A and B are shown apart, each in its own frame.
Chain A
Amino acid sequence: MKPLKLVLLITAALTPMSPVFADDLNDLKAEIAQMRADYEQRIQQLEQRLAANDLSTTKLNDEIKDVPPAPIANNLTSKNSFNPAISMVLNGNFNQYQNNPEDYALDGFSVQGEGDLGKQGFSLGESELTLSANIDQALYGQTTIALHEHEGETEIEIEEAFIESLGLANGLTARAGRFFSPIGYLNQRHIHAWNFADAPLIYRGLFGNQLSTDGLKLSYVLPTDQLFEVGASVGAGDSYPGGGEHSGIGDWLIYAKTGGDIGIESSWQASISHWQSSPEDRAYSGGHSHDAASASSAVFNGDTNITNLSLVYKWAKNGNFRQQNFSLIGEYFLLNDDGVITHSDEFARYDGKQYGGYVEGVYQFNPQWRSGVRYDWVASNHKASDNELLADAGLDGNYSNPQRSSVMVEYLPSEFSRIRAQVNYDQSYSDDDLQLLLQYTVSLGAHGAHSY
């Protein structure tokens, strides 16, 4: 009612027509003063309430700040945002050999697959496309597709394509699909992650660079303070030195791995693995007599097993790998063959051993420069009831001990690129060879993580 009264009074006071008396005027003044006091009090109250509100807002703001920010709403559709991590590795080479690379042979071994020397002069190396992502709450998936040129044609190869369990049980991991066999140390790493441009001779001789398996792998990390990992894999048994089609399990493998730290600066890992298979018609396509006329190659039937020992040691000042580090890697392989070699209509009982290893040391003396040396050697001891068949299979020459020494230096502009120069003194066969390999390797896209 008061505002109304005020309005009326003011109107009255302002209306010149209405007569104004002194008493009324005093009353009016008093009333106005009263009203003013009244209003001031109210305004004060309001101000106080506002201030209080302000305080609680800042308090609220503080609390909001503490709460993790909600994802910003945007118009992203799920079509692309669930894309897997994509990375592509590109390679380029420039190789020079003293000898003709076509003449290359590894005495006592039949070199298969990609084990031959790279092209002389300029060439494009393997381009690898890797995609990986969690498939759902239970599975992770990864594939690596390699593209490379072979005799003028581009070949596509699925290097890896596997699924892996995400937390099957404490410490247990299962993997299925195509993967690098868990034999040895280098075998489980992509070629682009190796310290040298080419595979150690023993890898070249036994696997044609690398052994992969189509099958199943199970690994278990023991709940101990020091790492103990055990595992097994079963596979199709069709990749060299396996062979043939097996309706069930074609090859199997068991391994054990352990490792730890020595103080803050050093760490190590040791592993032992054993692989077994019964190859059917394992073809030695690289025999000495391989020309178009003798299209049929010598084949092996029997039992094969391979045992591997590997040892890795790494050091970095204060354990700070970025600035300087040193790694020393050594591996040893022993293969046993027991069976029959057949070629055309002839056959021979065959008992063969192939073995060898490598030791490499790499020192990174600052974040952008690394240098390393490697020594590798192989040897063989083949017994056959007919030595002619050994020659047909390309397994002759076990009288010599092939070996090789390499030096390399790398410049790494960043984590994602590398330029490498490597020199080999190669004594794989009777004619010693001096080799120069220049190479760039870059990685585009997702930031990969490299295992120990």
Chain B
Amino acid sequence: MKKLIALLAFLFAQTALADINIFSCEPEWASLSQELGGDKVSVFSATTGLQDPHFIQARPSLIAKARNSDLLVCTGAELEIGWLPLLQRKSGNSAIYDGALGHFMAADYVSLANIPTSLDRSHGDVHVAGNPHIQTSPLNIKIVAKALNQRLQQIDPTNAEYYQQRWQQFDTRWQAAIENWQQQATSLKGMPIVVQHDSWVYLTDWLQLKTVAVLEAKPGVPPTIGDLNKVLNTLQQTPAMAVISAGYQSTKASDWLVSKTDIHRLVLPFTVGGTKQSKDLFSLFDHTIQMLKSVQP
């Protein structure tokens, strides 16, 4: 009996000490959660920087992780519509259902670009709520960080002060980093580029890059040779310096373009872990800007 009590006491002590388990859908939110949560949280990322977050299998391992998590930190805006609802339901974990305190969707806090004016599947894989790839601008991350800090404090009030401090430190560092990046990127202003998929709008807005063409004529649909020829025509009128894609996208179309023109191909990190050099949120933008500048004459 004593042993049992000791065991129970041990288990309860464990729960009292236990970290906040964070299930993040994408590596950028895992990185942010770790920055803000420090050693009070343990963070799991459901995807890597080399996986397309639209197409993830609701794998057994993800169900087990979702089952044991206290907080979901995901992009939202239907980016994870093909798998996250299943994980929520199959996990039987009410803490992470829609509307629960443990359900944090970053896109809810950012004003989204490219909200479609008409909805029709013949337009490709359009996102009803707007473009969900918000992590390509550090300004968005600043806003999300503030909201996530508040959420962490709500979920774990005993450590509220700790989170507040971590957030303040992060915000100061992040602000300084943004100013630094903007300074570095002044020469990039107006740089003409071609993008693979419409997933860079927040980056191009922030750095004022000029998107001349999109390889995917319809979002999510691999471009046909006809689509590519159109892009080629556009480029003859207005040449671009680089064609940009993310690590998880096929390089077939951009390879073709590189073979036809003297455009540079850039596989930008897109998220943490998208390239070897982008190990956290800071190096993500360091490397992005560095790569963009590398193709400038």
Q: Which A positions have Cβ atoms within 8 angstroms of B? A: 65-66, 68-69, 134, 140, 164-173, 219-221, 223-229, 257-261, 264, 267-269, 314, 318-323, 366-368, 413-416, 447, 449-452
Contact = CB atoms under 8 A, between A and B. Distances in A.
Contact of B57 (A164, A172, A321): A321
B111 A449 contact: no
Contacts of A415: 82, 125, 220
Contacts of B146: 66
A228 B61 CA distance: 10
B67 A167 contact: no
A261 B93 contact: no
Contacts of A228: 64
Contacts, number: 141
A82 to B, nearest CB: 14
Interface string B50-79: 111011111111011101100000000010
Contact of A449 (B85, B220, B221): B85
B250 A66 contact: no
Contact of B55 (A140, A224, A321): A321
B108 interface: yes
Most chain A C-beta atoms within 10 Å of own C-beta, residue among B64, B65, B78: B64
A68 B104 CA distance: 12
A173 B89 contact: yes
A219 B50 CA distance: 34
Contact of A368 (B68, B90, B222): B222
Nearest to A416: B121
B262 to A, nearest CB: 27
A170 B67 CA distance: 8
Interface size range on B against A: 35 or more
B68 A223 contact: yes
A414 B48 contact: no
A451 B58 contact: yes
Nearest to A448: B82
B86 interface: yes
B64 A170 contact: no
A223 B95 CA distance: 14
Contacts of A414: 121, 124-125, 220-221
Contacts of B109: 66, 68
Contacts of B278: none
Nearest to B52: A322
A177 to B, nearest CB: 15
A314 B248 contact: no
9 contacts: A173-B90, A225-B64, A258-B60, A267-B57, A267-B61, A268-B60, A269-B59, A318-B51, A323-B250
Nearest to B64: A227
A140 B88 CA distance: 12
A452 B108 contact: no
B286 to A, nearest CB: 23
B60 A168 contact: no
Nearest to B65: A225
A267 B125 contact: no
Contacts of A66: 109, 143, 146-147
B42 to A, nearest CB: 11
Please report whether the interface of chain B is mostly helix, strand, loop or mixed according to DSSP: loop
Given A68-B147, A320-B51, A321-B52, A171 B57 contact: no
B248 A322 contact: yes
B89 A140 contact: yes
The 10 A-B residue pairs with the shortest CB-CB distance in the complex, in nearest-first order? A167-B94, A259-B60, A227-B60, A227-B64, A322-B52, A322-B55, A318-B50, A173-B92, A261-B61, A320-B51
A259 B59 contact: yes
B94 A451 contact: no
Nearest to A259: B60
A163 to B, nearest CB: 12
Nearest to A270: B60
Given A66-B146, A321-B56, A449 B82 contact: yes
B52 A320 contact: yes
B81 interface: yes
Contacts of A68: 108-109, 147
Nearest to B122: A414
A321 B92 CA distance: 25
A320 B50 contact: yes
Contacts of B86: 449-451
A260 B61 contact: yes
A319 B50 contact: yes
A224 B92 contact: no
Contacts of B65: 225
B97 interface: yes
A166 B94 contact: yes
Contacts of B85: 449
B282 to A, nearest CB: 21
A451 B84 CA distance: 10
Nearest to B54: A322
B245 interface: no
B142 to A, nearest CB: 9
A85 to B, nearest CB: 10
A91 to B, nearest CB: 18
Contacts of B221: 413-414
Nearest to B63: A227
A452 B48 contact: no
Nearest to A224: B64
Contact of B90 (A224, A322, A451): A451
Nearest to B86: A449
Nearest to A312: B60
Contacts of A447: 78, 81-82
A164 B89 CA distance: 9
B73 to A, nearest CB: 15
B90 A167 contact: no
A78 to B, nearest CB: 17
Nearest to A447: B81
B92 A172 contact: yes
Most chain B C-beta atoms within 10 Å of own C-beta, residue among A226, A227, A258, A260: A227
Contacts of B108: 68
Interface in B94-139: 94-95, 97-98, 108-109, 111, 121, 124-125
Contacts of B83: 449
A428 B57 CA distance: 34
A259 B90 CA distance: 14
B57 A168 contact: no
B217 to A, nearest CB: 13
